[in-house]
Amino acid sequence: MNFNPSEKEIEFVSSALAKFNDEKVGPDNHELLNIVEYDEAKNVIAGILGGTYWGWMHIDILWVDEKHRKAGLGSKLLHAAEEEAKKRGCHSVHVDTMSWQAPDFYKKSGYKVISELDDIPTGNKKFHLIKDL
């Protein structure tokens, strides 16, 4: 057993799973969906990183610089990403967030908690949320 596989070995495993999935349900047609926002000096102050596949959008990261929070920038990015996902034929979105991050933000944006993991890390929770588009 190798706990330090090479990039080639990692790619092999990833490709093998993709081939298996394609045979079962067809290609996922994964496409990145990344948006960033800038300040007047062209510094990145916010971003949403994710992708679309099998009719779903997934949010990997939604971040807003602390100086620019509470100004609606996160909602603006989320809405733009959801609109782009709809154009790509997505019917739903899913995201994971931690208890100290943004579960209330997503709930206010119409997301529904479908699962919680306790003690990750100890004393905290991880939430999985979804939203129909």
| Residue 79 is assigned to a structural domain of this protein | yes
Q: Work out the pLDDT band at 22, boundaries 50, 70, 90.
A: very high
Average pLDDT of the residues in 6-32: 96
| Residue 110 is assigned to a structural domain of this protein | yes
- DSSP tag of 67: G
**Any idea how long the chain is?**
133
pTM, two decimals, is 0.91
pLDDT digits (tens, 9 = 90+) for 75-126: 999 999 999 999 999 999 999 999 999 999 999 999 999 999 999 999 999 9
| Residue 74 is assigned to a structural domain of this protein | yes
| Residue 2 is assigned to a structural domain of this protein | no
Token readout for 21 is 């999935």
> What pLDDT sits at residue 17?
96
Instruction: Collapse the DSSP code of 65 into the 3-class scheme (helix H, G, I; strand E, B; otherwise coil) and give the result.
Output: coil
pLDDT digits (tens, 9 = 90+) for 30-84: 999 999 999 999 999 999 999 999 999 999 999 999 999 999 999 999 999 999 9
| Residue 111 is assigned to a structural domain of this protein | yes
> What pLDDT sits at residue 101?
97
**Distance separating alpha carbons of residues 128 and 96, to the nearest angstrom:** 4
Please count the structural domains in the chain.
1
> What pLDDT sits at residue 30?
95
Average pLDDT of the residues in 9-34: 96
| Residue 1 is assigned to a structural domain of this protein | no
**Structural domain boundaries, residue 56:** 7-132
Domain CATH for 96: 3.40.630.30
Average pLDDT of the residues in 128-133: 98
Dihedral angle computed from the Cα positions of residues 117, 119, 125 and 129, in that order, rounded to the nearest 10 degrees? -10
| Residue 30 is assigned to a structural domain of this protein | yes
